[in-house]
A and B are shown apart, each in its own frame.
Chain A
Amino acid sequence: MKQQYLFEDKAEFLSKLQELKDKGISRKAVTILIPYPLHEVEDIWHPAPSPLRVFTLFGALAGLLTGFAFTIYTAKDWPLITGGKPIVSIPPFIIISFALTILFGALVSFAGFLILTKLPNIRAMMEPEEYGNQFAILINNEE
């Protein structure tokens, strides 16, 4: 059985959502589509927090390590003193590592976002389900 509830009004949508939750409907069966983020939905529905931060942390650390490893390795690969500075000069290498921390952190977060949301969604690209500015609750019950 497929059910579809569409609302123009936010309050009605939220009360319907509350009602469904109180009924104890299976979370998997429900898809909620909203035109813009609503914190109230999270308060009612309590979706699992996004694990995106794991990607962010991993990316940022990878960038930091790459930055130091790369600069130190290349400096030692052909030790050539310029400007009387030590071969491994940590202060300037911090700058490179800082930039790479942000670069890798941002790119890995974006990749993580694509993985978690399963975007790009080819089917939705071609034939999107559009509900405009309405709040939609789609229920897909097998019983």
Chain B
Amino acid sequence: MKSEKVVERTEINYKEQLERDVLAAMAKPNRWYWVALGFSATCFLIGLISWGYQIKIGMGTAGLNNPVGWGVYITDFVFWVGIAHSGTLISAVLFLFRAKFRSSFNRTAEAMTVIAVMTAGLFPLIHLGRVWFFYWLFPYPNQRLLWVNFRSPLIWDVFAVSTYLTVSAVFFYVGMIPDLAIVRRLTTGIRKKIYGILSLGWQGSLSEWMHYNRLYLFLAAFATPLVISVHSVVSWDFAMSVIPGWHTTIFAPYFVAGAIFSGTAMVVTLVIPMRKIFSLEKYITLDHFESLAKLLLLTSLIVTYSYIVELGIAFYSGNVFETAIFKYRMMGDYKILYWIMISCNSLIPLLVFFRKVRRSLPSLLIISLLANVGMWFERFILIVTSLAKDFDPYAWGLYKPSIIEAGITLGSFGMFFTFFLIFTKVLPVLSMTELKEEHE
């Protein structure tokens, strides 16, 4: 056995420092972590209790009634699916475009995607009157040998969302395999065993890398059209109907732009505190945030453009119902929410044009939080106003969310943050392999 070893160490090199810093983030949590986890888990629990109450008492506990049969639950569903979008955008699309700033965020963004789709996937079930029959959504012949109706947009949703969850989970996992092998190397005892199994025994041989690079490229190429299609399908849940304000061809691109906008905002919201808590300033720099901020600004402008086009279409159409619903949105019962939406999504993000603002983390955090608020209201406005005042004045009615709906919405945020906090402690939060590759 002959061994040639070149050991030259004048300084702790970048690679080892990176591994050490990422592993430090996975070490024993401090008090603030427990506080955050406790708070999120409490919110999650409130959500579970509210849902349990709704299942026991019935759907009457939600504020849904005629004519507004879709309310906060569907708003939450669209909101969370939207949040899920930027994960794949940052990860897959930026990978295909070889955008360097991606590697500092992609792991967080992918984790966010998977968790947000899981959260979103619960809402159609919560919205079901009898949740124990949720399996009726799956395509199988029922006792009368009747299959599901593939001409219904709701079934398209089942396929789109479950495909999205599966593919983004595979993409997330595959991207992590070499990093899990690094964690396996640096841990001991039972953790080493667990990460050994999770890493599938990855050794990093040339042939493994060859196949791996191909796989990653193909998965990115699959994920990209999937991102576009999933939110388009979600938008068709609305656009396929004849309800004024919903029945427009602009819906698919409008939803996709909104989804990427809200998702990017959520990445900023999550990464700013994460970078601070785990001292990852060296790997996630201000320049990275600036790139994200520009993406946020770009998508905000697209969203604003959609708002304008939507109004243009409605008023130019000469259709009284279309015109009436848009006037109602701006000046009717829910006008405050409409103007909050315009301020948060279209006006405030314009501040990002200023270099000072986009290089200041506190202001970015505030803008991104407001963007999320704005996007939630956008979905609410869209869903509720169109149903509240459709064609026949005798069928008009208002909708007010009940306390149970508020509890479940709070619970969804609790669930999202609980899972995200667990992610930061059990999986490597940065893509170490990619950062090393980039550093070369």
A and B are interacting partners: yes
**Contact across chains for A8 and B8 when beta carbons are under 8 A apart:** yes
A50 to B434 CA separation, bound complex (whole angstroms): 20
Enumerate chain A residues within 8 angstroms of B145, measured Cβ to Cβ.
77-78
Which one of B50-58, B127-135, B162-170, B402-410 contacts A?
Answer: B162-170
Task: Tell whether A58 is near chain B: CB-to-CB under 8 Å.
Answer: no
**Contact across chains for A83 and B6 when beta carbons are under 8 A apart:** no
Could you tell me how many residues of chain A have their Cβ less than 8 Å away from some Cβ of chain B? 70
A27 to B276 CA separation, bound complex (whole angstroms): 48
Enumerate chain B residues within 8 angstroms of A56, measured Cβ to Cβ.
218
Most buried by A among B9, B184, B207: B207
Q: Using A34-B209, A100-B163, A133-B15 as known contacts, say yes or no to A124 and B215 having CB atoms under 8 A apart.
A: no
**Contact across chains for A70 and B139 when beta carbons are under 8 A apart:** yes
| 1/0 contact string of A11-46 vs chain B (CB within 8 Å) | 010000000000000000001111111100110010
CB distance from A6 to the nearest CB of B (A): 5
Which one of B69-77, B219-227, B285-293, B314-322 contacts A?
Answer: B219-227
A83 to B214 CA separation, bound complex (whole angstroms): 44
**Contact across chains for A92 and B150 when beta carbons are under 8 A apart:** yes
Task: Tell whether A106 is near chain B: CB-to-CB under 8 Å.
Answer: yes
Q: Using A31-B205, A37-B209, A128-B201 as known contacts, say yes or no to A3 and B170 having CB atoms under 8 A apart.
A: no
Enumerate chain B residues within 8 angstroms of A80, measured Cβ to Cβ.
146
Could you tell me how many residues of chain B have their Cβ less than 8 Å away from some Cβ of chain A? 71
CB distance from B107 to the nearest CB of A (A): 15
**Contact across chains for B139 and A74 when beta carbons are under 8 A apart:** yes
**Contact across chains for B197 and A125 when beta carbons are under 8 A apart:** yes
A31 to B246 CA separation, bound complex (whole angstroms): 60
Q: Using A53-B218, A110-B174, A125-B201 as known contacts, say yes or no to A102 and B225 having CB atoms under 8 A apart.
A: yes
Most buried by B among A38, A117, A121, A124: A117
Task: Tell whether B279 is near chain A: CB-to-CB under 8 Å.
Answer: no
A129 to B205 CA separation, bound complex (whole angstroms): 11
**Contact across chains for A34 and B207 when beta carbons are under 8 A apart:** no
- Chain B's closest residue to A126 (CB) is B196
Enumerate chain A residues within 8 angstroms of B86, measured Cβ to Cβ.
none
Task: Tell whether B440 is near chain A: CB-to-CB under 8 Å.
Answer: yes
| 1/0 contact string of A97-115 vs chain B (CB within 8 Å) | 0111011011101101110
Contact residue among A35, A75, A124 (Cβ-Cβ distance under 8 Å from B436): A35
**Contact across chains for A128 and B184 when beta carbons are under 8 A apart:** yes
Enumerate chain B residues within 8 angstroms of A52, measured Cβ to Cβ.
211, 214-215, 218
Q: Using A77-B147, A96-B150 as known contacts, say yes or no to A35 and B204 having CB atoms under 8 A apart.
A: yes
Task: Tell whether B149 is near chain A: CB-to-CB under 8 Å.
Answer: yes
Enumerate chain B residues within 8 angstroms of A122, measured Cβ to Cβ.
201
Q: Using A7-B6, A96-B159 as known contacts, say yes or no to A130 and B150 having CB atoms under 8 A apart.
A: no
- Chain A's closest residue to B1 (CB) is A2
**Contact across chains for B437 and A36 when beta carbons are under 8 A apart:** yes
A70 to B150 CA separation, bound complex (whole angstroms): 10
A133 to B178 CA separation, bound complex (whole angstroms): 12
Contact residue among B171, B206, B440 (Cβ-Cβ distance under 8 Å from A10): B440
CB distance from B114 to the nearest CB of A (A): 14
Task: Tell whether B257 is near chain A: CB-to-CB under 8 Å.
Answer: no
Enumerate chain A residues within 8 angstroms of B16, measured Cβ to Cβ.
133
A-B contact pairs, 25 of them (CB 8 A): A4-B4, A9-B6, A35-B204, A35-B433, A36-B433, A36-B440, A50-B214, A53-B214, A53-B218, A75-B147, A75-B151, A83-B151, A92-B156, A96-B159, A99-B229, A102-B167, A102-B222, A103-B166, A112-B215, A119-B200, A120-B200, A121-B200, A124-B201, A128-B184, A128-B201
Given contact pairs A2-B1, A47-B206, A128-B185, enumerate 7 new A-B contacts (beta carbons under 8 Å). A53-B218, A77-B145, A77-B147, A106-B218, A121-B202, A128-B196, A133-B13
